[in-house]
């Protein structure tokens, strides 16, 4: 069965500092991996995805994520956090075989402190 | 591009009433998903369609829930009868093909009293 774990409910970081939001996954075979961001009273917005190729994926708003197959992780990173990055972040996984179902993690609330 | 459009944004109803949530996907997208978001269970996939055909409805919680997609530009999620535990934010999302990301609407916040 597919699953996604986001071990931290909340991450606090000072503005200008690097940030990391953690995600680990479990899926049969090679996964498709995604990060989404949700602002209050809005739907989820796509940030970046890993399908194949380079393990370091760059996405919107200066975010990037590193796929690590041996650790089954896909952590979201940004070199310098902005207050406007404060939001709820979701990791999602989809298997390559079988049904086309995205499984989302429980979300991590990022707070960037001025 | 207007994005995925959901209506209504808010719905307050009494237990036992029928509720219909509506979704207009992005034009040309061939996959449509209905998700439910609650504090307790996070984001749950209820059902998804491909080319208007329901593919997987294993996430639909009970027979009280039904979803239809009569054409490529419209889908409904119906709850009949509604119960207080159905209170949640319901999201519709669409995508183009299997490798593209999901595009979410802004959701319908349902409150059943």
For chain A, where are the alpha helices, taking DSSP H only? none
**Tokens 């890993």, residue?**
A50
Q: For residues A3-15, give the mean pLDDT.
A: 95
Q: Do A43 and B55 touch (CB under 8 A)?
A: no
The answer to whether A110 touches A11, Cβ cutoff 8 Å, is yes
Q: Do B42 and A107 touch (CB under 8 A)?
A: yes
* Of residues B86, B89, B82, the one with CA closest to residue B106: B89
Q: Do B45 and A32 touch (CB under 8 A)?
A: no
| Position A14 pLDDT exceeds 80 | yes
Q: For residues A36-65, give the mean pLDDT.
A: 93
| Position B98 pLDDT exceeds 80 | no
Q: What is the pLDDT of residues A97-108, one digit of tens each?
A: 666 788 899 999
Q: Do B101 and A34 touch (CB under 8 A)?
A: yes
Cα–Cα dist B42/A52, whole Å: 28
CA closest to B90 among chain A residues: A43
Length of chain B: 113
Q: What is the pLDDT of residues B1-42, one digit of tens each?
A: 689 999 999 999 999 999 999 999 999 999 999 999 998 889
The answer to whether A7 touches A24, Cβ cutoff 8 Å, is yes
Chain A nearest CA to B86, separation (Å): 18
The answer to whether B45 touches B33, Cβ cutoff 8 Å, is yes
Range in A9-18, A56-65, A70-79, A91-100 the model is least confident about: A91-100
Task: With beta carbons under 8 A apart, name residues in chain B contacting A95.
Answer: none
pLDDT for the residue numbered A95: 72
pLDDT for the residue numbered A96: 66
A9-38 in b/e form (b: 16+ CB < 10 A) is: eebebeeeeebebbbbbebeeebbbbbbbb
Interface residue B99 vs chain A (CB under 8 A): yes
CA closest to B104 among chain A residues: A43
pLDDT for the residue numbered A29: 79
pLDDT for the residue numbered A101: 81
Cα–Cα dist B51/B73, whole Å: 10
Interface residue A46 vs chain B (CB under 8 A): yes
Task: With beta carbons under 8 A apart, name residues in chain A contacting B45.
Answer: 101-103
Interface residue B106 vs chain A (CB under 8 A): yes
Mean of all residue pLDDT scores within chain A: 92
Q: Do B45 and A101 touch (CB under 8 A)?
A: yes
Q: What is the pLDDT of residues A15-47, one digit of tens each?
A: 999 999 999 998 877 889 999 999 998 999 999
């Amino acid at each position: 069965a597919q699953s996604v774990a986001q071990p931290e409910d909340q991450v606090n970081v000072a503005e200008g500092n690097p940030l990391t939001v953690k995600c680990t996954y479990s899926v049969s075979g090679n996964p498709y991996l995604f990060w989404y961001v949700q602002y209050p009273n809005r739907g989820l917005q796509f940030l970046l995805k890993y399908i194949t190729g380079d393990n370091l994926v760059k996405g919107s708003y200066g975010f990037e994520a590193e796929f690590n197959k041996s650790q089954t992780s896909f952590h979201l990173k940004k070199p310098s956090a902005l207050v406007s990055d404060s939001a709820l972040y979701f990791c999602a996984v989809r298997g390559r075989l079988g049904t086309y179902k995205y499984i989302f993690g429980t979300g991590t609330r990022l707070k960037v402190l001025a | 591009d207007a994005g995925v459009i959901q209506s209504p944004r808010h719905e307050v109803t009494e237990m036992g009433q029928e509720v219909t949530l509506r979704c207009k996907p992005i034009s040309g997208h061939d996959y449509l998903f209905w998700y439910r978001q609650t504090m307790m269970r996070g984001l749950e996939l209820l059902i998804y369609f491909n080319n208007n055909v329901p593919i997987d409805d294993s996430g639909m919680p009970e027979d009280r829930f039904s979803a239809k997609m009569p054409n490529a530009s419209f889908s409904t999620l119906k709850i009949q009868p509604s119960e207080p535990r159905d209170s949640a934010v319901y999201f519709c999302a669409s995508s183009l093909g299997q490798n593209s990301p999901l595009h979410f609407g802004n959701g319908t916040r349902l409150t059943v009293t």
